[in-house]
Amino acid sequence: MKVFYPKKIFIEKDVVKSPVTQRILCKLPNVPVEYIDDYRKIKIKGRMINNIYKESKECLAIARKKGKLVKQFRCRDGIIGSTEYYIAHGNNCCFDCEYCFLQGYFDNAIPTLFVNHEEMLTEIRDVIIAAGDKGVVFHAGELCDAFVFDDLTGLSRKLIHLFSEFPNARLELRTKATNLESLLSESGIDNVVISWTFSPQVIVDAYEHKTPSLEERISTAEEVQKAGYNVGICLDPIIRCEDWYDNYKAMLNMLFDRLDITKIEFVSLGGFRFLPSLARAIRERNPQTNLLLGEFVPCIDGKYRYFRPIRVEIYRELGNIIRQRGKGIRALLCMETSEVWNELVDVL
């Protein structure tokens, strides 16, 4: 994976002296810097939305997160999911996946790193302590890939050190990245899981632009397991491409052949889904896309998903492979309805 080297850095004036800011600047010498008051007001000019989006991805913003750094994630009514927390360590990333829900989600598409790490760690600690003996789950990677900028920020090591103090709490670091050198220098602990979004290479080539290949992700997951960490396998979003079954079966077999099954924490399955606003952004950026072709129907949470029998077929076929090859591995659905869960109790 290539090291991210932006064409321009925007820095909020009140974080210039932050140790994390200075660390980032030391790792990115000679990059032009513009000092700003508020990262949310940055505007990248251009005539076409796709050009604006691509130019935004080539910049970097360094800022202080205002408001909560640890937020509770709740599924909407009718969607099955646990009450968990996500860590707001950044917005956007330098990858450019066509299906990414962050397109148009924020005021701009510039990758933004929040450098008030001590406040972040304090908020996490406060939530864990308030929970007492009740286990609590945190995610990093919800609004920004957990590792794509980790070589710049060093955040993962801070998080691992914190969670080593609280074995009842659990942290999942979600990524597509392969620059996990800082993580490999730390011995794995049982309550930290590194999860990858794995996609067949045909999907990577078609829709996951600027991301590491499937092979690179699997190789990195192997190294992470050797370092003592458990890993998670996220098949989300599953895209029903031509020969989808053969492609996903081959990928799952690769994963189960090469990874230590005893150190796979879970396999999560989630079909491609989108809000109308995301569909508009996808079409505006690429009018020729075939990503939105298919039998999509509106669901209870306002998102469009594959027609339910199609989703059930996909989950059942992949669930059977998981049961055959990865006995004992926990398989679960991501952002799905109770009706779909109930149809799959025999394979999940």
What confidence tens digit (pLDDT) does each residue in 309-335 have? 999 999 999 999 999 998 889 999 998
Q: Which CATH number does the domain housing residue 328 bear? A: 3.80.30.30
pLDDT tens-digit series, residues 127-165: 999 998 888 999 999 999 999 999 999 999 999 999 999
Residue 48: predicted pLDDT = 82
Domain assignment of residue 3, yes or no: no
Q: Which helix (H) or strand (E) holds 113?
A: strand 112-114
Domain assignment of residue 28, yes or no: no
H, E, C per residue of 253-305 = HHHHHHCCHHHEEEEEEEECEECHHHHHHHHHHCCCCCCCCCCEEECCCCCEE
Predicted TM-score of the model (pTM): 0.94
pLDDT tens-digit series, residues 166-191: 999 999 999 999 999 888 888 889 99
Q: Which domain range does residue 225 map to?
A: 63-343
Number of domains in the chain: 1
Domain assignment of residue 40, yes or no: no
| 144 vs 92: CA distance, rounded Å | 5
Domain assignment of residue 239, yes or no: yes
- Contact between residue 251 and residue 198 where contact means Cβ atoms under 8 Å apart: yes
Which residues does residue 171 pair with via DSSP β-bridges, in sequence order? 138, 192
Domain assignment of residue 101, yes or no: yes
Domain assignment of residue 37, yes or no: no
- Contact between residue 75 and residue 338 where contact means Cβ atoms under 8 Å apart: no
